[in-house]
Amino acid sequence: MTRIGLFEGKRVELIHGIIYKKDRQSPQHAYCVHAIARILENAFGDNYWVRQQLQLRLLKNSDPEPDIAVARGSTYEDFKNHPSAAELVIEISHTDRDLAFCRSGKAALYAKAGIEDYWIVNLMSFQLEVLRGVKNCGDVKCDYSNRFILLPNEMVSPLRAPKAKIAVADLLPPNE
């Protein structure tokens, strides 16, 4: 369907064999994608590619386009194909519907794909939700064993860049 242009100009992604329409981006969402990418480029360094809203080939029937994915590698040779793994995945949520999907469907997908570090930037509550530690991975459902919330006055470090101390406030749009 993609090859014949059926989704041309449409924001969609494939999750567990189902095509989902992605919500429109708010200006705050767009700001966060840009700001977080710059922060993570500094945190991870040259041997990683911080991808913004680009496809991952995680499972046979799932090609999500997370807002941010940090993939190991930095050269063209490393990325002749879409990456099939990521060191960190971040989704930015600005609607209740999107937040619910990030917490359930996308969390299950990322856990099943072995993503050990998954963050949700919750723009409605102005907080960061961190999900770590894949558990209960069977044929049907996967989840994370650790889920915690960080507020703007707290710090976070990616699992694969533990020396990087990132202020949660820097991952959020300016608070007006």
pLDDT, tens digit, for every residue of 125-148? 999 999 999 886 766 678 899 999
Separation CA 116–CA 56 (nearest Å)? 15
Which residues face 7 on adjacent strands? none
- DSSP designation for 15: E
Residue 22 DSSP one-character state = P
Sheet of strand 68-72: strand arrangement: 48-52, 68-72, 88-93, 117-122, 127-135, 143-150
Distance of alpha carbon 35 from alpha carbon 51, whole angstroms: 13
User: Do 159 and 70 form a contact (C-beta atoms < 8 A)?
Assistant: no
- For the segment 142-166, the average pLDDT, to the nearest whole number, is 95
- Residue ranges and CATH numbers for the domains of the chain are 12-171 (3.90.1570.10)
* 98, 118, 158 from 87: Cα distances, Å: 22, 9, 9
Side-chain half-sphere exposure of 145, counting CA atoms within 13 A: 7
pTM of the model: 0.86
Q: What is the pLDDT of residue 80?
A: 67
Higher pLDDT, residue 145 or 24: 145
Q: What percent of the chain has pLDDT over 70?
A: 79
Q: Do 91 and 121 meet the contact criterion of CB atoms below 8 Å apart?
A: yes
Segment 42-65, tens digit of pLDDT: 999 988 999 998 888 877 776 788
Radius of gyration of the chain from its Cα atoms, rounded to whole angstroms:
16
pLDDT band at 69 (very low <50, low <70, confident <90, very high): very high
